[in-house]
Structure 1
Amino acid sequence: MPIDSSKLIIEQIYNFIIEKPQIRYQSKFMQLAIFFGELHEVHKKDFQATKPFIYKGVFNGETRKISALGAPEFFDKEKFLNWAAGKITD
């Protein structure tokens, strides 16, 4: 049964990640890689983050390739969460 990455679950993972002290010092690419890596549902070795801003993994039970070139700033919480929820559930 696929995991439903509802906005609430996405927000919980986001809140967990922003508590990591080093996250503020990472590039936007790495911030997104950490975020999508945590949302990825199977083995970490199956998650791929490639430049420029392409993230491939299993989200909501489906393999997805997410282009994040137009992603809002990671720390703009509401905009980012709305954008991420749309990318994962489309």
Structure 2
Amino acid sequence: MSLPSTKDKPPRPAPGAAAHQVERQAVADPIENLSRLTVTQTPDGCLMEIQGDRGASIALLASAEQIDALATSLDDLLSENDAAADEVTDGASDAREGRP
């Protein structure tokens, strides 16, 4: 699976920081943006190959349980983002209709 470019996306948070707490640093960012992700089933588990936009890459072998935990974490994160977007949209609708 190839991913869309993230060159115009905000930087990722430092470990332990919330995404909304991230500010662009004036120094060069050593963290690359994700450019490619492939997942292949092997007899030993799932092989994940991850590549950055400047060429760094890593291959990781993960168990089915680890892949499930990763998928759950990503789903939770996306659900939080969807809920926040819904709150903004609902608030804008209320304001247009004269509701507090």
Q: TM-score range by the shorter chain?
A: under 0.3
Q: Higher strand fraction: Structure 1 or Structure 2?
A: 2
Q: Higher helix fraction: Structure 1 or Structure 2?
A: 1
| Structure showing greater Rg | 2
Higher relative contact order (CA 8 A, sep 6+): 1
If the length of structure 2 is used for normalisation, what is the TM-score? 0.23
If the length of structure 1 is used for normalisation, what is the TM-score? 0.25
